[in-house]
Structure 1
Amino acid sequence: MLCFSLRFWLCAFFLLVSLAGFSQVSDSSFFSGKFDKTPLQQALQEIQTKTPVRFYFEPDWLKDITVSGEFAQENVAQVVAVLLSETELEAAWYHTYAVVIFPSRASHPAVVYKDKQGKALPRLLFGLPKNVSDTKKVELRGRLTNAKTNEPLVGATVSVPALAVGDQTDANGNYRLLLPTGEHLVTFKYVGLLPEERQIGLYAAGTLNLPLHQSVVVLNEVEIRGDRPGDSNVNSVQVGANKLNIGVIRKMPAFLGEVDVVKSVLLLPGVSSVGEGSSGFNVRGGGADQNLVLMGQIPIYNPSHLFGFFSVFNPDVVKDLTFYRGGIPARYGGRLSSVLEVQQREGKGGKLTGTGGIGPITSRLALEGPLLSEKTTFLVAGRAAYPNWLLHALKDKRLKEGHATFYDGNASVKHTFSPKDNLTLNGYFSHDAFGFTQDSIYSWENTGVALKHTHTFSDNLQGSLSGVFSKYRFAITDKSLGNASEFSNGIWSGSLKAAFVYDAKRHQFNFGAEATRFGFKPGQFKPTEAGSAINELILPNDQAIEAAAYLSDEFTITQQWTVMLGMRYSLYQNRGAGEVYVYDPTQHRQQRTITDTLRYGAGSAIATYHGLEPRASLKYSFTEANSVKAGYQRMRQYTHLISGAMAVAPLDFWQSSNTYLKPQLADQWSIGYFHNFGGNKIEFSVETYYKKIQNQLDYKEGAELWLNPAVEAELLPGKGRGYGLEMQLSKREGNLTGWISYTYSRSEIQVNGFFKQEKINNGAFYPTNYDKPHNLALVANYQLTRRLGFASNFTFSSGRPTTMPIGLYEMEGNTVPVYGDRNQARIPAYHRLDLSMTIETNHKKDKKWEGRWNISIYNVYARRNAYSVFFRDDAYAVPQAYRLSVVGVPLPSITYDFKF
């Protein structure tokens, strides 16, 4: 089969030739034979075997056409004319023995689509109009790639605006549309690349693979949007999902000049954090541990550097990110609130290229290119931080004497065995170290490896098999004389995953299975020198396995109705060797009420949990620019992050579900209205949701969590609920782009155990530590010239809850504060403005070096936002509240990014 471009121009050429009368008909070749409802392609092949004449055609044009006729030593030209007389095909002779078969001029559309310059758009014909029912629907499918790198475009949109029908490309760049037969104008769009349009004569199923090109004037990259690219804000069935391209993220003002994927997510509706200096984020009233963060396929258990000021994602290796806060696909599991999947770039072939940047806190470099041959490509990247000079310049004495650093590295190798098979190996490692003194050092590490084999079985079926390993470790090292010691905890997981995608015209099936083994290290405290006064204390490690299988179907019912149904089944088992304490059932759990200990051998089941996790999304399109979507999802989370803090902190540790700690279970319902206007330049969306959580954990008053062998006695299960409203208005084209998002959300929990000590606030619902009702984000980007752009972010959020003292009493000469009900007061509201300016180099095509300067100011008006409020005793008075601010001054920075 000829490729599209060659096929189009060849047919156009021969059509002109035939119109001009330049055909040369053979008058020296004769044929004898008989055809009785014989497929036309078979008839032409028989003529070729008996004569020197050769035919050239597109097989789709001859599909389902049969011919009849009996010939005895007749001229081939006459034979061909008779066979085609009852079809909508014509023959053009461009040589005595060469014939092109093409659609008749009578089958050409009366209306020709034109571009903005008035030129006719390229037209591709699949099948012929003859005998095609007006009500018949056929499938258009294909693959979109980046013309420069040949990488698949993930999240690109393919749409037919006149029918309000569209699709979004998957992880391999594939799309599919089910369309009525006829002529259609199809648009192809992706952030940062030039859009394409094609006129499609669709009378039979067809495949169109298309590369999208970069613009010479790189203004597309400054488009800012908080939702999926193109028209999928309205057309996609997915509810509660966002996609951001790294080009968008690079334009945002950044903390000390370092582009941050996680910080960009905080500007989306439904997402918040407890404050500066906190890692992780909170989604729709959920805890920071309820978010599944993936680097490719690798789960990241602590996504932060330097206690949350930076994320683990190096911007030079990030391709784009997809963020789900509702309507989570069935292929994801293990977390309650959201999925953040960060796609890494794959090394491109051709020649060796590099990117990097130099800033006041970090520097980075990435190299990519072919490895030995064009079939194998690689990408390696490294980043290092040097913030000590900044700490030493601060006024705070403890910070002034402190020291900090981090570094991380990414590596990727991809080998293409054939167009149907490729193998990808990705690796990641990071290390952080921080200390207020030279004697005490906090350190933590993330390590991850993923090996993935992808195979295309057919045009309809693709599959992949992956092996994934991830490990997180935290340690505190004390080098002081006489107390030399190390405390550490951590978690590791190893997974085997099989995933498949099957396109069946109006259905798109995703199905697969996975198995994961977990290892939990809750804590150990060891002396590191012979003369240390520290006594060794090691908590027993925990083991668990989790298995899951899933199936989902995205089904196009009509042009207006689309539904996505999914089901996931998961099974989790906490396994030995291990011990389980038995508590006195007549008293609330605590160490002194332990009455017995049950011991389990290696590999034996200690506790087993399982259940179904249904998912559903429904979309109804009023017009091409208006739709309503609704969704429901059930999620199960079998691992728990035990922490006395409000966000992910280094001292936290992961804990398996076991005999006493039940899995968390969440049900969420959501509905939203989506509208595009101004020629799809402006997007509006409003969503509302309600979420119920079972077995959500909180802590007893004065809970002791550090190195506690009976930590379950300090934890209290409760019922959680969250509800809210999310609105977003975004402009994604023009010199001025950006978005405004507002979220009203509530997050509450009820702990109402059997004993008084197992009740909080007398069993009533109360706000969680991360309940922040009002969140507002304004993101703006103005491109003044081709080379000069300005950006700003403004954020506002309600203060999070805290517990205040309401009185005091004297006890043995000491003043003891009396605290009120938990989380019934709030710290002051948070707001901040950031500004940045970006200066581009020239945009010549043949330049070998590209540079970009970014100048930014974080916290422009020096807002001293409170991270927490603490209390100090004053004689004979209620303890006074004091505000702890992490960043209370403007922080300017200048960064130089380059590419060669």
Structure 2
Amino acid sequence: MRFLPALLGFVCFLFSFSVYSQSDSIIQGTVLEIGNEDPLPGANVYWESEPQKGVVTDINGFFSIKSIELPAKLVVSFIGFEESIRTITVKDLEKPLRFFLKPEELSLEEVIVRDRMPDQNVKGLEMGKSVVPIETIKNIPALFGEVDLLRSLQLLPGVQTAGEGTTGLFVRGGSADQNLVQIDGAPIYNPSHFFGFFSVFNPDALQGVEFYKGNIPANFGGRISSVIDVSLKEGNYQKIKGEGGIGTISSRLSLDGPLFSEKSSFAISARRTYADMFLRLSPNEDINNNDLYFYDLSGKFTFRIGEKDKISISNYFGSDFLGLSAQFGLGWQNWVNSIVWTRNINEQAFFDLNTYHSQYKYEVGFSDEDSGFKWDNVISESGIKAQWNFQPNEQSILQWGVHSQLYHFAPVNLQPSENSVIDPIGTNPRNGLQNNFFISVSSNIGDRLRVEGGLRWSIYNQVGKGVKYLYEGGNPSPDASILDSIAYGRLENMKFYQGLEPRASFRYLVSDDLSIKGSYNRNFQFVQVATNSSAGLPLDRWIPAGLYIPPIRGDQYSMGLFKNLANDRWELSLEGYYKDFQNIIDLRPGASVLFTDNVETEILAGKGYAYGIEFLIRKNIGKTTGWLSYSYSRTWRKIEGISENKWYNPRFDRPHDITLVLSHEFSKRWSANMTFVYTTGQAVTFPIGSYEVDNQRVALYGNERNKDRFPDYHRMDASVTWKNINKGRKWRGSWNFSVYNLYGRKNPFSYQFTDILNDQINFDTSSGEEIFSRRPGVVMTYLFTFLPAITYNFEF
């Protein structure tokens, strides 16, 4: 424990470094949209006499700026809104200020970047961070016209996909379970609907999205690849408002407004697909007896308690179900709850306290007299996080806090039906208790250099109830005998891990429009998924760290050049990174992890690395906006016992990735959007031969994993939007016409290696027809070609 004095010394140093000017006066306030009082994150706040010393509002519209000699004029601006200038006097130091901005009637050109300073790309310290405006997400053409957050993030450089139609994210060589996805501070373990075709996020319910893939702040932890921090929309305090849409596959409705008084508000949203209703219209009984739907509900209730305190209560519930003719059923649910208390302690400090509970449940049932069963499982995480923020002056920010988490992985439970020949299966629960302490400080050193240092200390215990198995030779494997088992009581310690996670970054301004940035991050991950599917399935088995499964450690080094052109109308960036993975797991050949209590015998751990370079050119202002990105990336793993102990690529290794996103506003009524994506095909294992068993040809696979690839993937989507711009009407509507896969590219979803009978791919062997030819063949399955959709959106 020699690092404890060092940690305390580091904290004292940072604190003493940051408080040298705490006596300086600070002006604090909030920037809101007039009428509905929605916060405006990324608004510019600066003194008219010293515009170079401005600040930017945070996600809640809050700002804090060092005072100058008063009285003085303070300017607040936000793209697409009228500028506000107010004279600040000494009396204004006594309490926080509120600024209300009015939307501009004639200047709505800037549709891509609306929530940050125009030169934030160059002058900001953030690296590998994207703040995605909700309006941008809503403008991107979507599958079935269903606007989707996670699919929009796939268009950013450094983000790979699992395949056609899926929302899984593979960020800079990491797997999908290495992304922390959270709603108002609460994690969500399966952020997808419809087997991954849609995400759980209703865009009408969202306030903002922050995506970190490089320099992850010290107050985030638990995943080694990225953080997707989603905040639900806060209701306005003046009047009831609503919005929604009727689409090809689902409809949605959102309402928000004052709750009890001007000091409280609500925002609720609901969405449901009606695919099951179309199934009922089929004359085929094999189809109309099926069920296929998802729905989700979310709500946020906010209470202002005086001038300094605010409490927000957030809830989300989502459910999916697939039922086949009342014989087979598969369903899963997410339930997330979060309570956040924010307090402005004084002019220089504020405090956040977040408590949450997140639960993921899935269930499978099969109705059959001889082999029926019901199988279910529950995953949950409960936590509390306290964070203090202190800004002694304009140049320095100090953050510190603590975060405690309790993981519960319930026993896998398979119960056979009465008279079923299947034996019941049960496993033991797995639990983990994790405590994290973090601190970070950022400050300017001179006029050109800004640095940030952070440290996170993660302490993890696998705790009871649970069972620890002892294997022959001390090494768990399918062939090793179990010598003994040890039962542990509730919260009794079973295995201990801890690790320091340093974070460091810098930004150096070469000139006012050119900067160099660099960062280093270390992260530990104590829970991960054991699966052989890259797409992410509802039944994936989450595994906590324990006696035989150590936590993953990830180290990332990144550097980049950032340049703005033509008065910040254009952004250019070039980023490179290298990542090192330790204790990363993968399944043994032929492994099965769903029904075993000895999952450690089915997985192996090893090391890996990833590297890449990402180029982005982005146009922010004008009638035509958008971006073009190119990424070259590789990821490798080496695990003893897999692929002949050689380095191999996971399935999501896709070296080349090109993305083009364009938006053009023809007039106030008409706009068009287009996206084009091209990626290298995903890595797969094709058979090297075949053999016959009972007159059936069976594919023969080699020992090396993922040596082959699917063909390259490319697709173009387009949409056109017509808006009713009459702002005097209470009801405003718009129509969106979109086409997914505009030129009908048949991108492979899967390949099946099988016998082709009588030259027919779907030959029915039970038809009694004579089989006169048999040959080995490959059958490609693709999901979507030219797929049009129409959506009506409305506001009132």
The two structures have a TM-score, normalised by structure 1, of 0.79
Question: 1:471 aligned to 351, 359, 363, which one?
Answer: 359
CA distance 1:605–1:188, shift in 2 (3 Å): same
**1:273 counterpart letter in structure 2:** T
CA distance 1:187–1:768, shift in 2 (3 Å): farther
Question: How do residues 672-687 of structure 1 correspond to structure 2 at under 5 angstroms?
Answer: 672-687=560-575
**2:788 counterpart letter in structure 1:** P
Question: 2:43 aligned to 129, 137, 156, which one?
Answer: 156
**1:462 counterpart letter in structure 2:** F
Question: How do residues 110-259 of structure 1 correspond to structure 2 at under 5 angstroms?
Answer: 142-158=29-45, 167-176=55-64, 188-190=76-78, 192-194=80-82, 210-217=99-106, 219-220=108-109, 223-225=111-113, 230-259=118-147
**2:493 counterpart letter in structure 1:** A
Contact residue 366 and residue 380 of structure 1 kept, 8 A = yes
Counterparts of 1:216 and 1:487, CA distance in 2: 57
Partner of 1:557: 445
Residue 768 (str. 1) matches residue 650 (str. 2): yes
Contact residue 42 and residue 115 of structure 2 kept, 8 A = no
Partner of 2:794: 898
Residue 530 (str. 1) matches residue 413 (str. 2): no
Question: Post-superposition shift, 1:138?
Answer: 8.6
Residue 800 (str. 1) matches residue 697 (str. 2): no
Residue 886 (str. 1) matches residue 778 (str. 2): no
Question: Post-superposition shift, 1:213?
Answer: 2.4
Question: How do residues 21-170 of structure 1 correspond to structure 2 at under 5 angstroms?
Answer: 142-158=29-45, 167-170=55-58
**Cα deviation code 1:624-646 (max 9, x no counterpart):** 21111101100110001122211
Question: Post-superposition shift, 1:868?
Answer: 2.6
Counterparts of 1:886 and 1:679, CA distance in 2: 44
Partner of 1:703: 591
Question: How do residues 633-712 of structure 1 correspond to structure 2 at under 5 angstroms?
Answer: 633-712=521-600
Question: Post-superposition shift, 1:599?
Answer: 2.5
Counterparts of 1:420 and 1:205, CA distance in 2: 14
Question: Post-superposition shift, 1:732?
Answer: 1.2
Question: 2:343 aligned to 444, 455, 463, which one?
Answer: 455
Counterparts of 1:352 and 1:201, CA distance in 2: 35
**2:100 counterpart letter in structure 1:** P
**Cα deviation code 1:639-659 (max 9, x no counterpart):** 011222112211202111110
Question: 2:705 aligned to 822, 845, 866, which one?
Answer: 822
Partner of 1:373: 261
Contact residue 516 and residue 562 of structure 2 kept, 8 A = yes
CA distance 1:192–1:731, shift in 2 (3 Å): same
Counterparts of 2:496 and 2:86, CA distance in 1: 55
Question: Post-superposition shift, 1:537?
Answer: 1.1
SS at match of 1:671: strand
Partner of 1:847: 729
Contact residue 294 and residue 341 of structure 1 kept, 8 A = yes
Partner of 1:315: 203
Question: How do residues 217-616 of structure 1 correspond to structure 2 at under 5 angstroms?
Answer: 217=106, 219-220=108-109, 223-225=111-113, 230-388=118-276, 402-505=290-393, 506-521=395-410, 523-527=412-416, 529-585=417-473, 589-590=477-478, 592-616=480-504
CA distance 1:484–1:878, shift in 2 (3 Å): closer
**1:520 counterpart letter in structure 2:** F
Counterparts of 2:538 and 2:710, CA distance in 1: 24
CA distance 1:587–1:659, shift in 2 (3 Å): closer
Question: Post-superposition shift, 1:148?
Answer: 3.1
- Count of matched residue pairs: 754
**Cα deviation code 1:516-537 (max 9, x no counterpart):** 111102521113x534443321
Percentage of matched positions with identical amino acids: 34
Larger Rg: 1
Partner of 2:14: none
SS at match of 2:81: coil
Counterparts of 1:776 and 1:640, CA distance in 2: 29
CA distance 1:322–1:587, shift in 2 (3 Å): closer
CA distance 1:436–1:157, shift in 2 (3 Å): farther
**1:894 counterpart letter in structure 2:** I
Question: 1:836 aligned to 714, 719, 730, which one?
Answer: 719
CA distance 1:229–1:345, shift in 2 (3 Å): farther
Counterparts of 2:166 and 2:620, CA distance in 1: 30
User: Any unmatched runs of 5+ in structure 2?
Assistant: 1-22, 758-772
Counterparts of 2:258 and 2:618, CA distance in 1: 39
Question: Post-superposition shift, 1:511?
Answer: 1.2
CA distance 1:271–1:393, shift in 2 (3 Å): farther
Contact residue 530 and residue 587 of structure 2 kept, 8 A = no
**1:766 counterpart letter in structure 2:** Y
Question: Post-superposition shift, 1:188?
Answer: 4.7
**Cα deviation code 1:662-691 (max 9, x no counterpart):** 100000000111111111111111100000
**Cα deviation code 1:139-191 (max 9, x no counterpart):** 76643222333233223345799986654322432334569999999875545
**1:849 counterpart letter in structure 2:** W
Question: Post-superposition shift, 1:278?
Answer: 3.0
Counterparts of 2:290 and 2:142, CA distance in 1: 24
Question: How do residues 779-790 of structure 1 correspond to structure 2 at under 5 angstroms?
Answer: 779-790=661-672
Deviates most, 591-600 or 766-775 = 591-600
Question: Post-superposition shift, 1:894?
Answer: 1.0
**2:657 counterpart letter in structure 1:** N
CA RMSD of aligned residues (A): 3.1
Question: Post-superposition shift, 1:281?
Answer: 0.8
Contact residue 869 and residue 881 of structure 1 kept, 8 A = yes
User: Any unmatched runs of 5+ in structure 1?
Assistant: 1-135, 753-757
**Cα deviation code 1:511-558 (max 9, x no counterpart):** 11111111102521113x534443321111111111111111111222
Contact residue 808 and residue 878 of structure 1 kept, 8 A = no
Contact residue 806 and residue 878 of structure 1 kept, 8 A = no
Counterparts of 1:778 and 1:357, CA distance in 2: 27
Question: 2:605 aligned to 683, 705, 717, which one?
Answer: 717
CA distance 1:399–1:775, shift in 2 (3 Å): farther
Considering Cα pairs closer than 8 Å and 6+ residues apart, tell me whether 1 or 2 has the greater RCO. Answer: 2
CA distance 1:183–1:761, shift in 2 (3 Å): farther
Contact residue 309 and residue 341 of structure 2 kept, 8 A = yes
Contact residue 205 and residue 269 of structure 2 kept, 8 A = yes
**Cα deviation code 1:569-609 (max 9, x no counterpart):** 11111111221222222877225432222222222111111
Contact residue 684 and residue 705 of structure 2 kept, 8 A = yes
**1:765 counterpart letter in structure 2:** W
**2:711 counterpart letter in structure 1:** P
**1:854 counterpart letter in structure 2:** N
Contact residue 362 and residue 386 of structure 1 kept, 8 A = yes
CA distance 1:796–1:612, shift in 2 (3 Å): same
SS at match of 1:238: coil
Residue 733 (str. 1) matches residue 637 (str. 2): no
The two structures have a TM-score, normalised by structure 2, of 0.89
**1:312 counterpart letter in structure 2:** V
